[in-house]
Amino acid sequence: MSNSGKYKVILTGGGTGGHLFPLLAIVRELKRFLPQESLEISYLGPEDEISKEYMKKEGVAVKYVFSGKIRRYKGVKPFFENILDIFFKIPFGIIQSFFYLYFFSPDIVFSKGGYGSFPAVITARIFQVPVILHESDAISGMANRFLQRFAAEVFTSFPKTEGVNTKKMFVVGNPVREKVIGGEKEEAKRFLKARGEKPAVLILGGSQGSERINDLFLSSSTGFLKEFEVFHQCGKKNYKQVSVEAQATISSKELKENYHVYPFLDEESLKQAYALADIVISRAGSGSIFEIAANKKGGVFVPLPEAAQDHQVKNAYAYASSRAAVVLEEENLTPHFFLGKIKELFSPYEQIKVMEKRAGEFARPRAAHIIASYIKEYLTQ
């Protein structure tokens, strides 16, 4: 405990939903373990909308620092972006973090990984503050491969995680927000104003590469909506375009009633959508995979081909090996083939039930609880 009489924790991560939502789950668990008046939590990382909206609601102080990354693809633009990040953004972010850690005096730093965590973890090392890392993906990112040497422990999502020191590794799963688990199907029908006459398909876009998933659906929307009732999170930036295209391509009023499109699903809406869905279509970020598994739903994953170190492909196949999901790689994936593979999963419907059972066996819904309890034990020992 610091001289102020409070347990001080810094959380850091890459600045995307895949990093921040698990941190949010850990914050909520820490509040259960420790009295709020004795706990002070700060988030330190790159600026983004999610931390502004969610972290501040949980009473977490949000401090933004510069960060950068190393781009491994070739070209003049990436070369100069790397120069800017390596020699200016990252050093400046470390200086910002140095002053913040000096005045905040944390007891521990928990990092969710990504280049956004680099300044905080390096500065924690300078001040000899204990660091715990979590690696989301089936293959460790470059930042975590470097930073793990400074960590006391490295928690992982997948049992086999490439690039992690096995002497420090503990498999816990990826932290999942409790507020998106445990919906009831009948309540979900009322909440989402579903017709409930056809099997329900949930499509989760809204982040990296979601435009291409949106396009896959829209190009086969008539066929989809004849077979399924679709609940589609398309992303805030894409919502207007998707709505206009759907209005133009979905021909009949009856089919339009089977289509529900959202820019973004908040926690309550997402919980209800998971409860109602018979199958979930998504990219293959670790956060999405473990949320889908925690809700005991089968998945259809379209990994983002541009993802660093092909980690989404590795994540997707790691989950699919449990028979809880199928993987459709984007290369040569046509709208007709896409729709055909979804229809195959429902012929017969017993396949869906097998996927749900396997998803429940794969899930690790207590990951946030385990990590928060570890942090609490460290703070109070």
229 and 138 inside one domain: no
Say if 243 falls within a structural domain. yes
Residue 43 φ/ψ region, left for φ over 0, alpha for ψ in the -120 to 50 degree band, beta for the rest: beta
Two tokens at 288? 């999405």
CATH number at residue 326: 3.40.50.2000
pLDDT of residue 206: 67
Say if 1 falls within a structural domain. no
Say if 2 falls within a structural domain. no
142 and 206 inside one domain: no
219 and 325 inside one domain: yes
Say if 206 falls within a structural domain. yes
- Residue-level pLDDT, tens digit, the chain, 381 residues: 766 789 999 999 987 778 899 999 999 999 999 998 999 999 999 988 888 889 989 999 999 999 988 777 778 888 888 889 888 999 999 999 999 999 999 999 999 988 999 999 999 999 999 999 999 999 998 899 999 999 999 999 999 999 999 999 999 999 999 999 999 999 999 999 999 999 999 999 866 567 889 999 999 999 999 999 999 999 989 999 999 999 999 989 999 999 999 999 999 999 999 999 999 999 999 999 999 999 999 999 999 988 888 999 999 999 999 999 999 999 889 999 999 999 999 999 999 999 999 999 999 999 999 999 999 999 998
Say if 306 falls within a structural domain. yes
Say if 158 falls within a structural domain. yes
Say if 110 falls within a structural domain. yes
Residues forming beta bridges with residue 236, ordered by sequence position = none
320 and 373 inside one domain: no
192 and 166 inside one domain: no
Confidence (pTM): 0.93
Cβ neighbors of 93 (< 8 A, separation 6 or more) are: 65, 66, 67, 68, 118, 119
Say if 197 falls within a structural domain. yes
Two tokens at 290? 């473990």
pLDDT of residue 326: 97
pLDDT of residue 18: 84
Where in the sequence is the domain holding 293, given as residue range(s)? 179-362
Which is nearest to 193 in space by CA: 239, 246, 278, 260?
Answer: 260
79 and 212 inside one domain: no
75 and 61 inside one domain: yes
53 and 198 inside one domain: no
275, 184 in Cβ contact below 8 A?
yes
210 and 347 inside one domain: yes
298 and 280 inside one domain: yes
351 and 216 inside one domain: yes
219 and 140 inside one domain: no
Total domains in the chain come to: 2
